[in-house]
Amino acid sequence: MERTELVIVSGFALALDRRYHAETHMWVLLTEPDRVRIGMDPLGIETSGTLAQLSFDPVGSELTAGRPFGQLEAAKFVGPLVSPVSGTVLAVNDAAAVDAGLTERDPYGSGWLIEASLSDATGELQGLLENAAEITTWFTAKLADYRRMGVIAQ
């Protein structure tokens, strides 16, 4: 089994083998040239509170970047899971749907949300944060903003 390279930023682990969509708080891992796995980043999980339930659009559904592909119910938030890319849902993580806490416990491993084919592999990945410097700079700034606003504890 491959080990994911992690960097710790203020106590939060960030996987460096994937890209991040800053607005949706989703990570995107390219698994094949036109296929990705999508999950929630640590701030998306933290700001939602304890995850109670996750539901996903069914396999075969069309994804549109910026549009919902599922629903999240948590202690602090109930609302949509917003897709960072456009394409087609190829698989959903039934284990995370049954046990939403799996996404909290192992967000980069068994807690993934969906797998999708990309409608335009090159275009869909543009604009996502993808190197260690971009990822850590964004995450550090967003964490500071959330703490300043009282969204998460100091």
Tokens of 55: 């539901």
Over range 98-122, report the average pLDDT.
Answer: 95
Mean pLDDT (the chain) is 94
Mean pLDDT of 13-19: 95
Beta strands in 11-61 (DSSP E): 12-15, 19-21, 26-32, 35-40, 51-56
Question: Residue 138 contacts by C-beta under 8 Å, 6 or more apart in sequence?
Answer: 20, 22, 129
Give pLDDT, residue 1: 45
Which residue stretches of 5-131 are H helix? 42-48, 94-98, 101-105, 121-125
What amino acid occupies position 46?
Answer: E
Domains and CATH numbers, the chain: 10-126 (2.40.50.100)
- Give the mean pLDDT of 96-105: 96
| Structural tokens at position 34 | 């036109």
Per-residue pLDDT tens over the stretch 122-140 = 888 998 999 999 999 999 9
